[in-house]
Amino acid sequence: MKPTDTAHVRPVIVIGNLTIDDVVRADGTVRMGCPGGNAVYAAMAARLWNSAVAVVTRCGDDLPPEVLETLDRLEIDTAGVRGIDGPTVRNWVIYEEDGRRRWLYRTPPERSREVAVRPEDLPGEWLRADAAPVVHVAAMPLSAATAIVRHVRGQAPDALITVDTHEDWRGDADGVLELARRADVFVPSREELAELVGYDDPGRAAAALRERGVPAVVVKLGADGALIDAGDRPAERVPAYPTDVADTTGAGDTFCGALAAALGAGLSLPDAVRRGAATAAWAVEGFGSLTLARLDPVTAGKRFAALAGPAPGPAETDAPYEIDVMRREIAMIPEVIADHLTDAGGHVRRIADALTDQGIENLFLVGCGDSYFAGQATALAFQRHAGVRARAVHALDLARYQVRYLPPRSAVLCVSFSGRVGRTTEAAVQATRFGALSIALTNNESGALAQAADLVLPIDVPTLGFSPGTSTYLALVTTLTDLALRWAVARGRDVDAARTALGTVPALAEQTLAAAAGPAEKAARSLAGEPWITFLGGGPNEASANFGAAKLFEGPQLLGVSTNIEEWAHEEYFVSSAGTPVVLVAPSGASFDRAGEILSELDFIAARPIVVSDVEPGLPALHLPLAPGLTEEFSPLLAALPLSLIGFHLAEVLGKKSYNFPSEAARTEHYDTIHRLVIGEPA
pLDDT digits (tens, 9 = 90+) for 277-304: 999 989 887 766 677 888 888 888 878 8
DSSP state of 98: T
pLDDT digits (tens, 9 = 90+) for 197-225: 989 999 999 999 999 999 999 999 988 88
Q: Which residues of 153-191 are buried (b: 16+ CB within 10 A; e: fewer)?
A: bebbeebbbbbbbbeebeeeeeebbebbebbbbbbbbbe
Q: Is the pLDDT of residue 239 over 60?
A: yes
CA torsion angle 444 449 450 452 (round to 10)? 160
Q: Is the pLDDT of residue 315 over 50?
A: no
Looking at residue 292, what is its pLDDT? Answer: 81
Specify the amino acid at residue 215. P
Q: Are 570 and 598 in contact (CB under 8 A)?
A: no
Q: Is the pLDDT of residue 591 over 70?
A: yes
Looking at residue 670, what is its pLDDT? Answer: 85
313 pLDDT band (50/70/90 cuts)? very low
Q: Is the pLDDT of residue 582 over 90?
A: yes
Handedness of CA 641, 389, 442, 556 (dihedral sign): positive
Give the integer Cα–Cα distance in Å for 128 and 84. 26
Phi then psi dihedrals of residue 529, to 5 deg: -95, 5
Looking at residue 316, what is its pLDDT? Answer: 34
Q: Are 291 and 462 in contact (CB under 8 A)?
A: yes
- Work out the average pLDDT over 509-532: 93
Looking at residue 288, what is its pLDDT? Answer: 66
Report CA-CA distances (Å) from 163 to 21, 132, 195, 234: 23, 16, 17, 22
Q: For 621-624, which contacts have Cβ atoms below 8 Å and span 24 or more sequence positions?
A: 621/584, 622/519, 622/522, 622/523, 622/526, 623/519, 624/516, 624/519, 624/520, 624/523
| Region of residue 419 (phi > 0: left; psi between -120 and 50: alpha; otherwise: beta) | left
Give the integer Cα–Cα distance in Å for 560 and 532. 6
Q: At 411, which helix (H) or strand (E)? A: strand 410-415
Those residues whose C-beta lies under 8 Å from the C-beta of residue 500, and which sit 6 or more positions away, are none
- For the chain, give me the number of helices (H) and strands (E)? 25, 23
HEC string of 563-625?
A: EEHHHHHHCHHHHCCCCCEEEEECCCCCCHHHHHHHHHHHHHCCCEEEEEECCCCCCCCEEEE
HEC string of 493-509?
A: CCCHHHHHHHHCHHHHH
Looking at residue 463, what is its pLDDT? Answer: 78
pLDDT digits (tens, 9 = 90+) for 14-26: 999 888 877 777 7
Looking at residue 470, what is its pLDDT? Answer: 95
Our CA angle for 201, 207, 213, nearest 5°, is 135
Give the integer Cα–Cα distance in Å for 662 and 277. 34
Looking at residue 417, what is its pLDDT? Answer: 94
Looking at residue 98, what is its pLDDT? Answer: 64
Give the integer Cα–Cα distance in Å for 382 and 370. 18
- Work out the average pLDDT over 256-280: 91
- Work out the average pLDDT over 28-47: 83
DSSP code per residue over 533-560: EEEEE-GGGHHHHHHHHHHHHHTT--EE
Strands 362-367 and 410-415: parallel
Question: Please, where are the H alpha helices in 49-172?
Answer: 65-73, 111-114, 142-155
Q: Which residues of 242-258 are buried (b: 16+ CB within 10 A; e: fewer)?
A: ebeeebbbbbbbbbbbb
Q: Which residues of 1-18 are buried (b: 16+ CB within 10 A; e: fewer)?
A: beebeeeebbbbbbbbbb
pLDDT digits (tens, 9 = 90+) for 126-142: 887 667 899 999 998 89
Give the integer Cα–Cα distance in Å for 322 and 554. 13
Report CA-CA distances (Å) from 272 to 265, 496, 591: 9, 50, 58
Looking at residue 289, what is its pLDDT? Answer: 65
Looking at residue 129, what is its pLDDT? Answer: 63
**How big is the chain, counted in residues?**
683
Q: Are 527 and 650 in contact (CB under 8 A)?
A: yes
Structure-model confidence comparison of residues 56 and 32, the more confident one: 56
Other CB atoms within 10 A of residue 629 CB = 15
Burial class (CB in 10 A: 0-12, 13-18, 19+), 83: exposed
Question: Please, where are the H alpha helices in 97-155?
Answer: 111-114, 142-155
pLDDT digits (tens, 9 = 90+) for 38-60: 898 999 899 999 888 999 999 88
Helix axes 297-308, 269-283, angle to 10 degrees: 110
Other CB atoms within 10 A of residue 667 CB = 16
Those residues whose C-beta lies under 8 Å from the C-beta of residue 585, and which sit 6 or more positions away, are 535, 536, 537, 541, 544, 545, 548, 612, 613, 639, 643
Structure-model confidence comparison of residues 492 and 66, the more confident one: 492
Task: Determine the longest span between alpha carbons in the chain, in angstroms.
Answer: 87
- Work out the average pLDDT over 147-156: 92
319 pLDDT band (50/70/90 cuts)? very low
Q: Is the pLDDT of residue 344 over 90?
A: no
Specify the amino acid at residue 254. T
Q: Is the pLDDT of residue 7 over 60?
A: no
The most confident of 115-124, 594-603, 655-664, by mean pLDDT: 594-603
Mean pLDDT of the chain: 89
389 pLDDT band (50/70/90 cuts)? very high
Q: At 414, which helix (H) or strand (E)? A: strand 410-415
Q: Are 284 and 246 in contact (CB under 8 A)?
A: yes
Find residue 69's DSSP bridge partners: none
**Percent of the chain scored above 90 by pLDDT?**
62
Q: By C-alpha distance, which of 361, 371, 433 is closest to 400?
A: 433
Handedness of CA 270, 78, 327, 440 (dihedral sign): negative
Phi then psi dihedrals of residue 186, to 5 deg: -100, 130
Q: At 3, which helix (H) or strand (E)? A: none
Give the integer Cα–Cα distance in Å for 277 and 49. 13
Other CB atoms within 10 A of residue 343 CB = 18
Rg (CA), the chain: 27
Looking at residue 513, what is its pLDDT? Answer: 94
- Work out the average pLDDT over 312-325: 54
Report CA-CA distances (Å) from 241 to 49, 100, 224, 505: 17, 21, 9, 37
Phi then psi dihedrals of residue 482, to 5 deg: -60, -40
Give the integer Cα–Cα distance in Å for 236 and 141. 29
311 pLDDT band (50/70/90 cuts)? very low
